[in-house]
Amino acid sequence: MIRCLRCGQEFDDATPLVACDRCGERLPKGAASGVVTEEASVVAPAAPVVEMPSLHDTGPAFVPTPSPPAVAPLDAHHFDAIAEYEKDKALVAVIGFGGGGKTFLVNRLRDLLPRGPWKCAPPPAREIPLSPEGLELTRLVRTGRGSVAGFTLIDCAGESLVQALDGQRESAGLDGTPARSYLAALALARGYILVIRAEDLLDAGGPAAARLAPVMEGFYDIVHAIVVAKERLRREAARSLLERGIPRAEIEAAFDSPRTRCREPLAVVFSQADRLEHRGDAGETYDLDPYLFAVRHAPKLWRAIERSFVHYRFDFLAAFYRHVAASPTENIRPRYDLPSYGAEETFAWLEGELDPGPPWAWPLRWGRGQLPTRYAVTLRKLVEPAFRRELRR
């Protein structure tokens, strides 16, 4: 049996899960089931051979001088990231923690968008692991008109991204290329989708608070890392940012110091929202006002986003409405025949923000209500007492 190190839940040795479906902790499959993981398969470098002196040799023994550690250069993947950043394709980072539904969202978009003016690669997956390794790219090319030729969705695991940021605690330098890959996804994106499980917001104030605290703090750090990265890109080149990294001290300083608001759009979706139907603590009208839901259940994250972004959006998401699996094996197989709510609407909002059209069309955007989000929030504060009371809490 494989036991989760965080919550103690047990799984069969043959389970396909990479992370615990209860708490999101990575499962120690290599130690429990004999499967050689990627980390365990790395062979340590051989120790240098020291030539021992002969018994007849009266001279001093030769001790080799250790060479200084080499700084890993930017590899071809990072040059590709910079090239994509400089093209007219828009990079959109989809960020979420294990079991939160971000990869389900990406694959739902792979299924929906080709029915409109988009070509998509790769096609929607038939099996979706809960915590895929690395960064997974989805390329969307527009077949109709528009100033943005296409999008590249970057499926980015929140755990890996936070780990990459934490690796810079002692220095601004980045030691390994994986950390740079996640930094490129964070810094060079032109739009962001944060995927937060709706039930986690309800549970964050209860007995599961200790388990969910790292997840909520991780989103909090990610928001401020985006702010720092975009501010740095306004005064230095993308390659310089990737080479130097983002010191942890800069992220922590962004919590308090005033910063220029990011103009890149940010969408926050509360995933698996259909599960709230069976929870009495969600309220009967929980799904009518996602902004009020965010203020009430994630006030710290709400404040960080409200003061850091010009254009942002909160919405509920059910990428596969009422998806129920009989076993963990079936849980990774989505049913594309199920309806979806929130996925296509979130992408349409991002597309509108990233493709504003010619300057003469901007008055039409204002007429359709596509104003900076803080204008609408300020208006709600003035005219809606319930919203104002929640903010004061």
* Dist CA 360 CA 379 (whole Å): 26
**Residue 41: both structure tokens together:** 């398969």
Spatial contact of 31 and 41, defined as CB atoms under 8 Å apart: no
* Dist CA 151 CA 351 (whole Å): 9
Instruction: Tally Cβ neighbours within 10 Å of residue 11.
Output: 19
- Whether the full predicted model's pTM is greater than 0.85, yes or no, is no
Answer whether residue 127 is part of any domain: yes
206 and 218, same domain (yes or no)? yes
* Dist CA 107 CA 103 (whole Å): 6
pLDDT at position 247 is 80
Q: Which DSSP helix (H) or strand (E) runs through 128? A: none
Answer whether residue 236 is part of any domain: yes
Answer whether residue 290 is part of any domain: yes
Q: Which amino acid is at 238?
A: A
The DSSP string of 198-217 is: HHHHHHTTSTTHHHHHHHHH
209 and 342, same domain (yes or no)? yes
126 and 27, same domain (yes or no)? no
Question: Which pairing describes strands 266-271 and 312-316: parallel, antiparallel, or unpaired?
Answer: parallel
C-alpha Rg value of the chain to the nearest Å = 24
Position 48 confidence tier, pLDDT thresholds 50, 70, 90: very low
- On the CB side of 155, CA atoms within 13 Å amount to 24
Position 12 confidence tier, pLDDT thresholds 50, 70, 90: confident
Q: How many domains does the chain have?
A: 3
Helices and strands (H and E) in the chain: how many: 16, 9
336 and 372, same domain (yes or no)? no
Answer whether residue 98 is part of any domain: yes
Answer whether residue 47 is part of any domain: no
Please state which of the ranges 13-17, 108-112, 176-180, 279-283 shows the lowest mean pLDDT: 176-180
121 and 175, same domain (yes or no)? yes
pLDDT over 50 at 347, yes or no: yes
Q: Stretch 256-275: mean pLDDT, rounded?
A: 86
pLDDT tens digit sequence for 89-145: 688 999 998 888 899 999 999 999 998 889 998 999 988 876 656 678 888 888 866
Answer whether residue 289 is part of any domain: yes
pLDDT at position 149 is 73
Answer whether residue 52 is part of any domain: no
149 and 298, same domain (yes or no)? yes
Peptide bond into 122 cis (omega under 30): yes
280 and 366, same domain (yes or no)? no
214 and 274, same domain (yes or no)? yes
CATH number, domain of 223, equals 3.40.50.300
* Dist CA 149 CA 159 (whole Å): 31
Q: Which DSSP helix (H) or strand (E) runs through 334? A: none
Answer whether residue 44 is part of any domain: no
Grouping H, G, I as helix, E, B as strand and the rest as coil, residue 92 is strand
91 and 203, same domain (yes or no)? yes
378 and 351, same domain (yes or no)? no
**Residue 21: both structure tokens together:** 């479906």
Spatial contact of 226 and 307, defined as CB atoms under 8 Å apart: no
Range of the domain at 370: 359-393
Please state which of the ranges 39-48, 92-101, 204-213, 318-327 shows the lowest mean pLDDT: 39-48
329 and 388, same domain (yes or no)? no
370 and 299, same domain (yes or no)? no
* Dist CA 229 CA 245 (whole Å): 9
Q: Please state the φ and ψ torsions of residue 267, each to the nearest 5 degrees.
A: -110, 125
